[in-house]
Amino acid sequence: MPEGSKEIRADHIRKIQNTEVEITDKNYDNTVKEVKELCEKDPNGIMIQDTAWEGYEKIPGWIIKGYGLIVDDFLHQMKEKPTHIFLQAGVGSLAAGIILGLEERMKPEELPVITIVEPETVACYYLSAQKADGKRHHLEGLTKTMMAGINCQTPSITAWPIIRDSAKFYGTLSEDIDAEGMARLGHPLEGDPKVVSGESGAAGFAYVYEILSNPALAKDRAELGLDQNSRIIVLSTEGNTDPDNYHKIVDENNPF
């Protein structure tokens, strides 16, 4: 696991069949490279990773296709098709999988408006969209965010073209906005169910909640085409994987 990973998350994995887990002194990209080297040295080594590069594309491609099955779940539950979907992205495989899943199950004119959401400190898709040269771009240095599951500095080679050709908007959110989203899910309005969603899991919702609830963002709402008739999909991709931080944000600092 990359530098900055919480020990409690490593412990959760260690409990699965006594798995060996090491937190490195490297960022996500370089940790992936280290694991790749370890697998190449082991005659029985198999690397299962959802980010792809030249020569390593088959397994990430399978993972992307697997993510697409999530679309069946929410389309089955909805009486009407979604108008908007907000997808948090690390290397982008989840977002790409959902996009492909939508495109396989809906007519082009039915597809929702797709927005990619990233932490403001680690936004390689936002950067790539800003560059607007059709290429994926890498963020340098050691990046930090409490949204550890999407602390990724390079778009996956298999996910990038899917997202590039389908997403209409790219947005970033701060730690404070993310925390507010977590707390809102944990302390919902009367009649709504409580959702326990961790830092990375709540990112898509937190972004939408800020857009919809902040009066200063009326222009952003209009640009996104959000109104009282919108049918919005967000995905919670993580539960309470860091209990101390979750309790601090959702219970101790709860603004609701």
Q: Which residues contact 226 (CB under 8 A, 6 or more apart)?
A: 84, 211, 212, 232
What confidence tier does 211 reach under pLDDT thresholds 50, 70, 90? very high
The answer to whether 225 touches 169, Cβ cutoff 8 Å, is no
Q: 148 and 133 in contact (C-beta within 8 Å)?
A: no
pLDDT of 142 > 90? The answer is no
pLDDT digits (tens, 9 = 90+) for 66-107: 999 999 999 999 999 999 999 999 999 999 999 999 999 999
pLDDT category of residue 4 using cuts at 50, 70 and 90: confident
Asked whether the whole model's pTM tops 0.85, one would answer: yes
Q: How many CA atoms within 13 Å lie on the side-chain side of 77?
A: 8
pLDDT band at 141 (very low <50, low <70, confident <90, very high): confident
Q: How far is the C-alpha of 71 from the C-alpha of 85, rounded, in Å?
A: 11
**Is residue 95 within 8 Å of 112, Cβ to Cβ?**
no
SS in 3 state form for 128-171? Answer: HHHHCCCCCCCCCCCCCCCCHHHCCCCCCCCCHHHHHHHCCEEE
What average pLDDT does the structure give for the chain?
96
Domain boundaries, the chain: 7-47, 63-252
CATH ID of 63-252, from 3.40.50.1100, 3.90.480.20, 3.40.630.10, 3.90.550.10: 3.40.50.1100
Tell me the residue ranges of DSSP E strands in 45-137.
84-88, 113-119
Calculate mean pLDDT across residues 7-17: 94
Instruction: Return the percentage of the chain with pLDDT > 90, whole number.
Output: 96
For the stretch 148-160, pLDDT in tens is 999 999 999 999 9
Rounded CA separation 126/138 (Å): 11
